[in-house]
Structure 1
Amino acid sequence: VLFRLDYYLQNPGETIAIWNGALAIYGGLIAGAIVLYIIADRKLINTRDFLDIAAPSVMIAQSLGRWGNFFNQEAYGAAVDSLDYLPGFIRDQMYIDGSYRQPTFLYESVWNLIGFALILIFRRKLKGIRRGHITAFYLIWYGFGRMIIEGMRTDSLMFFGLRVSQWLSVILIGLGIFIILYQNRKKAPFYHTKEEN
């Protein structure tokens, strides 16, 4: 919407017409964070804890959601000579416009699965991890992976020499680092292991 603001100011009803196109993940993340904040505030739940609880679910949902790009044959990368290292059903679906394409959906799906597994490991060994750090890890992990993978795509919107998603990834990484530094400086409480409770 922001990159076609003139159009959407003249056609405000189109801003919610998600049936005309996909909802960008960043819009979903922002909307989700706002809703989580409102729910946490109303239920008197610590927002930082609520976000830490939600982070692994968001990571696995993003991993699964990337397969929508596979089925729609969208958000793929540049042409490559071969995809022989992939199963046939992926290779066949990535044959687009007469060429095999980098399966960036798969790279991001696997990246997010790894991030999900790491979050689960961190949550089991919570000693020494401050509240808010799981959310920060999610932001840094997802932002870094998305920044690299986005560079392989061919359909992205550019802005000042980088893809818009790469700029947004830089913001996510910066926000994650800020949360860690802020929580450490503020001496946010640590999570405790089960043995200590």
Structure 2
Amino acid sequence: MNTAALNPIAFNLGPIEVHWYGIIIASAVIIAVALSVREGARRGILADDIYDMILWALPVAIISARIYYVAFEWSYYQHHLDQIIRVWDGGIAIYGSLIGAGIVVYFFTRAKFIPTWLMLDVAAPTVIMAQGIGRWGNFMNQEAFGKVTSLAFLQSLHLPGWLIEQMNISGAYRQPTFLYESVWDILGFVVLMALRHRKGLFQQGEVFLSYVIWYSFGRFFVEGMRTDSLMIGNTLRVSQWLSIILFVGAIVLIIYRRRRATTPMYLDGNPFAKKDQVVKK
């Protein structure tokens, strides 16, 4: 770590170190939940249902993200079992968290008689926003960086000095791949938010599938620039292969579902909601 790097610890509560990583992730989740609750009210989904779902989805997402990461780094963690639970030091995989949260959403919505696709649509733009914000936790931990580059290149990007110096890791400047993905995610959030309420544009499920397409496309290229990718063997980058599968799968699924005349539109909202449950703009 560069001696001039920003301190990853925000403050101490007695013997407890509070890391910027955790603060940033928690802040992203809070903003995402608040925006989802607001949109859910417009689509006939009760705020209490979203809060209850988050209470289940969040811990499962964190655990599954860590399991995913540790599984592909088992050659290291099998000799450092005490470090498996140290999620505050980084080392969680976004795709792992999405898998875990997705399973919770499916079973929760089935139990509550809420259309699963609709719930995913409501959450999708805020999830990609949270991912974009969360990447700054990687920045504070000096992780999720790319290959060695030059100071001149980083300066050519018109980045502030404090960001450039944080990219000076182990004596070499690195590509700020965390920043590339963060910008891509926030741009995806803006696009989805701008298009989501266009009448006749999205069927239920297509906001979420558009998120999958957008995120996986960008992640494929950013992952190719990183030096800390989870690997299968020495050649296969897990996230790149998963990005290809998700990108193609989401497009195929949209085409398949478009051939079904029974799929409701996103703006139709929850068909099981009571009339006084829907908040109009």
For this structure pair, what is the TM-score category when the shorter chain's length is used for normalisation? 0.7 to 0.9
| Number of the residue aligned with 1:178 | 252
| Number of the residue aligned with 2:167 | 94
State the Cα distance separating 1:16 from its structure 2 match.
Answer: 5.9
Structure with larger Rg: 2
* 1:71 is the counterpart of 2:113: no
Distance 1:12 1:101 in 2: 30
Give the stretch that moved more between structures: 44-53 or 172-181: 172-181
Per-residue CA distance 1:86-125 (angstroms, 9 max, x = gap): 1111111011122211100110000001100110111121
| Number of the residue aligned with 2:265 | 190
Distance 1:119 1:131 in 2: 14
**Pairing partner for 2:108 from 36, 39, 42:** 39
Per-residue CA distance 1:54-112 (angstroms, 9 max, x = gap): 10110111000000110000110111113112111111101112221110011000000
Answer whether contact 2:90 2:138 (CA < 8 A) is retained.
no
| Number of the residue aligned with 1:115 | 188
Name structure 1 gaps, 5 residues minimum: none
DSSP-derived class of the 1:22 partner: coil
TM-score (norm 2): 0.62
Give aligned-pair identity as a percent. Answer: 49
| Number of the residue aligned with 2:224 | 151
Whichever residue aligns with residue 34 of structure 1, its letter is I
Answer whether contact 2:118 2:266 (CA < 8 A) is retained.
no
Q: 1:171 to 1:86 in 2, by over 3 A?
A: same
Between 1 and 2, higher relative CO (CA 8 Å, sep ≥ 6) is seen in 2
Answer whether contact 2:135 2:182 (CA < 8 A) is retained.
yes
Q: 1:106 to 1:11 in 2, by over 3 A?
A: closer
Whichever residue aligns with residue 158 of structure 1, its letter is M
Distance 2:83 2:103 in 1: 22
Q: 1:45 to 1:153 in 2, by over 3 A?
A: same
State the Cα distance separating 1:50 from its structure 2 match.
Answer: 0.4
Distance 1:176 1:115 in 2: 16
Answer whether contact 1:79 1:99 (CA < 8 A) is retained.
yes
Distance 1:127 1:141 in 2: 20
State the Cα distance separating 1:2 from its structure 2 match.
Answer: 3.6
State the Cα distance separating 1:5 from its structure 2 match.
Answer: 6.1
* 1:134 is the counterpart of 2:203: no
The CA RMSD measured in Å over matched residues stands at 2.6
DSSP-derived class of the 2:202 partner: coil
**Count of aligned pairs between the two proteins:** 193
DSSP-derived class of the 1:23 partner: coil
Q: 1:14 to 1:93 in 2, by over 3 A?
A: closer
| Number of the residue aligned with 2:118 | 49
Q: 1:39 to 1:77 in 2, by over 3 A?
A: same
Answer whether contact 1:79 1:101 (CA < 8 A) is retained.
yes
Distance 1:147 1:115 in 2: 15
Whichever residue aligns with residue 266 of structure 2, its letter is Y
State the Cα distance separating 1:6 from its structure 2 match.
Answer: 8.3
